[in-house]
Structure 1
Amino acid sequence: MSEAIRPFTIDVPDDVLDDLRRRLHATRWPDAELVDDWSQGIPLAYMHDICRYWADEYDWRPREAALNRFDQFVTEIDGVGIHFIHQRSSNPDAMPLVLTHGWPGSIVEFHRVIEPLTEPQDHGGDAADAFHVIAPSLPGFGFSGKPTETGWGVEKIADVWAWLMARLGYDRYTAQGGDWGSAVTAALGRRHPNHCTAVHMTLAMGARPKTEPTTPEELHAVERLQYYMEWDSGYSTQQKSRPQTVGYGLTDSPAGQAAWILEKFWAWTDNDGHPEDAIPRDDLLDNVTIYWVTETAASSARIYWESFGRGGGREPVTVPAGFGVYPAEIVRPVRAWLGDMFPDIVHWAEFDRGGHFAAFEVPDTFVADIRAFARIVR
């Protein structure tokens, strides 16, 4: 296995973008929904509009150039090329910070927070709060390689992140994540506590009440969990059971890929009924475009198949932990449910805006929270 770290520049071929536009113009549309809201899924009128915009007005090239302002690299670990942003701070005492996205996200989620984290003095902050930011693309996602064998669940990815950080020369670091990134972050702290010395999360995957819920926080979380299981988890059931099957349609149809992803940005952001209330249209399409041009619909879905019901991850995370709690999260973390899993919670912050994609939706709040957490654990 080569330990070489190679510079990487995003450079999508013109023919891939031409094919995307051709497919969008040739979309075979379904009938319209029979309701006047999103309760049957993403509305046809919105999909017409956003696919027209994606084909005829959205310009990938300046978006690509903006992402390329970050220092990016690829290195092979256990046979898979791992793509990552490695943005070093000008402050030599900066804390190394691993940021991990989830599904249906990507490194695009972090494009507004990397510079304030690495150079806080240039963004209204204190240089003492600086981080060296390492933001990998999950295996099978974005510009990382696609595993060709099974076994790439959350614990394996956490081990790969530990190898990556050692290869970069970081012996001690902290980690942050949302969605699947929360699970990877917890596993990194659980499995590598001598190196990953603190963890911060926005989602507590698997946390459940041990007694009858009584507090308003617990009752709200149970209500949200029940709603998720009954009305919002169909994508998860499909991806954890038959990720290959869902990949055919999403890899063949950009409209299908966009609908599959954008519905979740409607469901999981802090919006007033429309995903673009929370995240600008071009940002949403940057994220969708990465899934499309890398053909990662099936490979990204496999993290569900690899991780759900495969065991592991029950031991406590003993390193210091912090949580940012956002009101529109799928299920907000409840501190009373986390004591066994995270016995050393040193930071707990609740906010009045934001949802599942906190760095994407409320970047200033997200950055301030990470800085506050890091001051405790530095």
Structure 2
Amino acid sequence: MDEEERWARAALTRVVEPGDEHGGRLLRHLGASGLLARLTATEDITPAPPGVGARRLARWRARARTAEPHRDLDSVTALGGRFICPGDMEWPTQLDDLGDTAPIGLWLRGRPDLRTWALRSVAVVGARACTPYGAHMAGALGSGLAERGWIVVSGGAFGIDGAAHRGALSAGGATVAVLACGVDMVYPRGHTELLGRIAEQGLLIAELPPGDHPTAARFVLRNRVIAALTRGTVVVEAAHRSGALVTARCAQRLTRHTMGVPGPATSGLSAGVHELLRENAVLVTDVDDIVELVGGMGQLAPPRRGPVLPRDLLDPAAARLLEVFPSRGAVPVARLARETGESPDTALGKLYELHALGFVERHGDNWKLTPEAKQRHRPPRDTP
């Protein structure tokens, strides 16, 4: 992209609000330089573009005449950052899936290459006012993904976002915060230290130029960038009206993997996640589940089962014999053979196997369970 077009795109990030499809449509038809020239013209005698109302056009013109892209570009450079836009080597092309709502450009703060990181990234999002359970799960997923070499992307907010970022950082891993303000702004204030660490160890990215403040609408709109940038989105706790659900549903529309961590059925903070799961999001409980979805072919989660007990390793005939033992008292071989349908000789052979393994002991001509067998295994049925 030539410098004039880059300069114009930097200016337009201060003019057009993130996700404004009217601005995106004009940008596609006129190019950044053409759109900026029209907005800054002293007298524009051409009719308003289709779909763009007079109020919106007047707001754009007022902003365009006061935009100072050179100052914004100098400001981000002073922070050790940069401005990237479509056509740059560092631009993540998956953002183009957003069509006319794609970012005009991105302001970055941090050293890593965004395009490389985005190819192996997962979003972890959720409620700001999360429970200790939610914070624990987000932190564990963040650290686990980082240990597996995945980039953790979130919004830098309180609650689940912050826990996911901290989890990744604690594992010495990589994390990206997508902000609803300029990369030189700290919001929320309580995350001053966290955002500083992300800037040093990871990346801060924003659609808004340096100095711009967040608004409620901007928080919602930045969620589409989180969804488009990553291979999949994991929601850890979200109420029915949570912004995290906006991220998840955007990911669904973009055919990205959408995942949810279940919580208590009685928790309002898990109600939104459970709704997603009913809408065909995938239930995940740990990093293995996530990597199975977003990773390469063959990266399957291990089979899930309870602990393997010693009796699980017995052959069927020995297990059947052990099953018919009463919990109290000793019984003769003939009775055990009758109840299992085996011959007395076969039953006796299996009893000696069980004796060698510590399951049963001999009392004269009778046999009974050992005390250890009674403690370690579910009690067999009593003698009738």
Asked if TM exceeds 0.5, the reply is no
Q: TM-score interval w.r.t. the shorter chain? A: under 0.3
TM-score by length of 1: 0.25
Q: Which has the higher contact order (CA 8 A, sep 6+)?
A: 1
